[in-house]
Structure 1
Amino acid sequence: MSTPPPPGDRQPRDPYGPPPATRPQGAPGPGPYARGAPGPGPYAQGAPGPGPCGPVGRPYGAPVSVNALAVAALVLGVLCFLPAAGLVPGLIALRQIRRSGQSGRGMATAGVVLSAAGIALWAVALSTGAASTAWEGLKDGARGNESLSLHKGDCFDAPGGLEGDTYDVDRVPCGGRHDGEVFAVVTLPGGAFPGDTRITDVADEKCYALKDQYAMDTWAMPADVGVYYLMPSRESWRYGDRAITCLFGNTEEGAGLTGSLRGDPTTLDPDQMAFLSAAGALDTALADEPGKTPEDDLAAHRVWATEVHDVLGEQIEALRGHSWPAGARTPVARLVANLEDARAEWRKAGTAGDAETYHAHYDKAYGSVDGPATVTARKALGLATTPPVLGREGKKDSAAQV
């Protein structure tokens, strides 16, 4: 005898799924939940549950995307010259990852840490001035001529020599063997590249005018030393190179210099300076001798002889007015007497009526300028005592481009 079912539906409705299919009496039931039906919980009917792992809304086993800002933060953090660039993307990436469940938390964190460290390093660099030094080095490196930033008084070796194009130099002590010694640096004005010919003309004019200010004692200059210069090229001009570097170098191929040629107020005493200033003014006047011979242009030579006469008068007064050390007083006085004789001969040459008379006074005047009295006075002052070799037309001066 069976008990009839209660009134109403014969099969209760599963609150989490569709009603079960009708099965024969005694057949096994579907268990707590039907296959494929969602389990119980606070989710709406048919909504997927969280599964064994994975965030809400992503099916189990679906691939996880990497947050793009996390990648950017890491890359920018590694670039130490942009220290703050990775900080903001890293913080935004961490916030997005918490919300979306994307991967990349480690990269974002690393980017934030690296950026913070970079900011701290740059703060130290700015406070100590290291950043300015690094930036100058970076600019010079971009020009490709960082090592050519030479200064007055620098000595250097040029691996490629002083002839032709020079791309690199190595600074070395002036006391030893070296290829060149810088005696002046001339800065050109800005604007468009003026051309190699124009820069060479400026170098000729400026460098030769400045060499005697650096090496005042012309007697101390070796005969095989000539004037060279490093000039900007069209390429280096684009990077702001405006310097003509005037330098001394050996005119013999493969030969170098030994010891510094510098002879200016940084290396000479006041007595030596007074003597060389007078000698330099006279040398400058003598160097202006007309190019034509007295036979071809006697008038020009007479004007020049008068100018030398006037310069000699000024320098004689300067030598007489200086207070010389005891050991140099008599030698300098003898030299002044010789210069008076030379001055008288230049005056006569300035009024000569013909070329033959001019030559006679010219020869006597030169004999009194650099005679034995000059050597004795120089020796007493500790200066070079070997007269320079004149007529070095065979020696060449040269230019090299940066």
Structure 2
Amino acid sequence: MSIPPPSGPQQPQDPYGPPQPQGPGPYPQQPYGPQAPQAPQGPYAGAPYAVWGQGYLPLNRPAPVNGVAIAALVLGVLCFLPAVGLVLGIVALVQIRKRGERGSGMAIGGAVLSSLGLALWVLALATGGASSFWEGFKEGARGTSSLSLVKGDCFDVPGDSVGGDVYDVDTVDCAGEHEGEVFGTVPLTGGSYPGDDRVADEAEDECRTLETEYAMDTWALTEEIDVYHLTPTRESWEWGDRQIVCVFAHTDERSSLTGSLRSDATTLTADQLAFLEAMNVLDDALYEEPEDYAEEDLDANRAWAGDVADATAEQAAVLDGHTWRTGADEPVAALVKDMGKAGKEWTAASTAADVDTFYEHYDTAYSYVDGAATVTARNALGLVTRPPAYEEDSEGGSAGGDDGGLDV
């Protein structure tokens, strides 16, 4: 037996509301929602209807992280500006407490790390460690540049030539082919850049002295070898570049050197060193020849000839007083005799009454310089035996020609 549905219009069921009772039951089917009050009837008089809420509670959003705390932690980890990191950590804790934000752990960590960093900085300043660090940093920054070259280094210039601006070098073994060999360095002082001209002048003067100290056997410096200077520029000066580098290189930019040109106390025997020291002193006196010819200034030339006579006598005595190994004693003794003859001619030139007489003794004296006796003595000592090719207007420079200045 079926029970007919209640009379009255049917209401559609709300899909988002609570389920409506279906079929027969003790309660008449009513639409969901508050209804007009009705008088209670039957056994359920006085019992209210349950009302289902249609709203929802919003999801709880987390409190934002304090940005100052993040900055404090970053500065603390990097140990950069530790005092600032410490202050930011304290400020962050105050803001977090007032605003209810997150990040107190980061603020505390940044403050602690910054405190340690600040303590280390104070200790470094007190002990001079900061200065040592900065100097080390500057040295490291220029470790691959020409500024890192030292006396005795041989190098190549990647992609360039020694005849132009040099920005970088590669050190190589001097026994093989190389573009340049360092024979000395000259430190520069001063707070401001002294200027290109002054740096070039100092490089030329200082490198000339260092040249003979490094390559005492000047006969080994052929006309194909020239002297160059690696000098600071105004820009590199700002980075701490304070050094002139004196370099031997080939006069032809497309050619290289092979083997080291070094001949000093580190590479020479005792006999070779004694011989070259004596002969180089005499060469220095010869290089001081006046620029004006005797026709223009006879007095200056006569005075110079007297100085050469004194140097010749002194160095002949040095060679004669040295004990030479067997095989070199007789050639050196023959050279000493020739030096005595040359000394007499220089003395006669220094007292010449006129220009013609001066040049007569001058030419005779010069015939003994780098003559046959010198070649024989050098051969006995194992030194280079090919005399250098002197320039007609030489003033004691390199046999290769004018010095070259290079920027780094």
TM bin, normalised by shorter chain, reads 0.7 to 0.9
**For the structure 1 residues 190 and 325, does the alpha-carbon distance in structure 2 shift closer, same or farther, using more than 3 Å as the test?**
same
**For the structure 1 residues 118 and 258, does the alpha-carbon distance in structure 2 shift closer, same or farther, using more than 3 Å as the test?**
farther
* Other structure's SS at 1:275 match: helix
In 2, are the aligned partners of 1:67 and 1:97 still within 8 Å (CA)?
yes
Structure 2 gap segments, 5+ residues each? 1-36, 41-45, 122-128, 394-399
User: Which stretch shows the higher mean deviation, 83-92 or 327-336?
Assistant: 83-92
Q: Which residue, out of 377, 400, 407, partners 1:401?
A: 407
- The aligned runs of 1:269-288 (5 Å cut-off) are 269-288=269-288
- The aligned runs of 1:56-67 (5 Å cut-off) are 60-67=59-66
In 1, are the aligned partners of 2:142 and 2:148 still within 8 Å (CA)?
no
Q: Which residue of 2 aligns with 1:158?
A: 157
Q: Which residue of 1 aligns with 2:295?
A: 295
Q: Which residue of 1 aligns with 2:48?
A: 28
In 1, are the aligned partners of 2:319 and 2:336 still within 8 Å (CA)?
yes
Residues of 1 paired with 2:47 and 2:346: CA distance? 145
Q: Which residue of 1 aligns with 2:348?
A: 348
In 2, are the aligned partners of 1:153 and 1:183 still within 8 Å (CA)?
yes
Is 1:261 aligned with 2:261? yes
In 1, are the aligned partners of 2:176 and 2:258 still within 8 Å (CA)?
yes
User: Which stretch shows the higher mean deviation, 78-87 or 187-196?
Assistant: 78-87
Residues of 2 paired with 1:347 and 1:118: CA distance? 76
| AA of the residue aligned to 1:317 | A
Count residues in correspondence.
354
**For the structure 1 residues 336 and 104, does the alpha-carbon distance in structure 2 shift closer, same or farther, using more than 3 Å as the test?**
same
Q: Which residue of 2 aligns with 1:369?
A: 369
> Normalization by structure 1: what TM-score?
0.74
* Other structure's SS at 1:314 match: helix
Q: Deviation string for 1:72-116 (max 9, x for gaps)? A: 255336637789997997899799989987555897799799999
| Displacement of 1:344 | 0.9
In 2, are the aligned partners of 1:70 and 1:105 still within 8 Å (CA)?
yes
In 1, are the aligned partners of 2:278 and 2:315 still within 8 Å (CA)?
yes
Root mean square deviation, CA, Å: 4.1
- The aligned runs of 1:124-135 (5 Å cut-off) are none
In 2, are the aligned partners of 1:143 and 1:236 still within 8 Å (CA)?
no
Residues of 2 paired with 1:378 and 1:83: CA distance? 68
| Displacement of 1:147 | 4.5
| Displacement of 1:238 | 2.1
Q: Which residue of 1 aligns with 2:305?
A: 305
**For the structure 1 residues 292 and 65, does the alpha-carbon distance in structure 2 shift closer, same or farther, using more than 3 Å as the test?**
same
Q: Which residue of 2 aligns with 1:72?
A: 71
- The aligned runs of 1:187-202 (5 Å cut-off) are 187-202=187-202
| Displacement of 1:291 | 1.3
Residues of 1 paired with 2:145 and 2:39: CA distance? 96
Residues of 1 paired with 2:90 and 2:50: CA distance? 51
Q: Which residue of 1 aligns with 2:147?
A: 148
* Other structure's SS at 1:164 match: coil
**For the structure 1 residues 337 and 193, does the alpha-carbon distance in structure 2 shift closer, same or farther, using more than 3 Å as the test?**
same
Larger of the two Rg values belongs to structure: 2
**For the structure 1 residues 113 and 174, does the alpha-carbon distance in structure 2 shift closer, same or farther, using more than 3 Å as the test?**
farther
| AA of the residue aligned to 2:405 | A
| AA of the residue aligned to 2:186 | V
**For the structure 1 residues 116 and 379, does the alpha-carbon distance in structure 2 shift closer, same or farther, using more than 3 Å as the test?**
farther
Residues of 1 paired with 2:275 and 2:144: CA distance? 40
| Displacement of 1:337 | 0.7
- The aligned runs of 1:208-287 (5 Å cut-off) are 208-287=208-287
| Displacement of 1:69 | 4.6
In 2, are the aligned partners of 1:140 and 1:146 still within 8 Å (CA)?
no
Q: Deviation string for 1:131-165 (max 9, x for gaps)? A: 99975563246679744222111111123222332
Residues of 2 paired with 1:273 and 1:142: CA distance? 39
**For the structure 1 residues 137 and 251, does the alpha-carbon distance in structure 2 shift closer, same or farther, using more than 3 Å as the test?**
farther
In 1, are the aligned partners of 2:184 and 2:247 still within 8 Å (CA)?
yes
Residues of 2 paired with 1:322 and 1:154: CA distance? 33
Q: Which residue of 2 aligns with 1:43?
A: none
Residues of 2 paired with 1:149 and 1:392: CA distance? 37
* Other structure's SS at 2:227 match: strand
| AA of the residue aligned to 2:273 | M
**For the structure 1 residues 206 and 333, does the alpha-carbon distance in structure 2 shift closer, same or farther, using more than 3 Å as the test?**
same
User: Which stretch shows the higher mean deviation, 91-100 or 352-361?
Assistant: 91-100
Q: Once the two structures are aligned, what percentage of the paired residues are identical?
A: 54
| AA of the residue aligned to 2:48 | P
| Displacement of 1:196 | 0.7
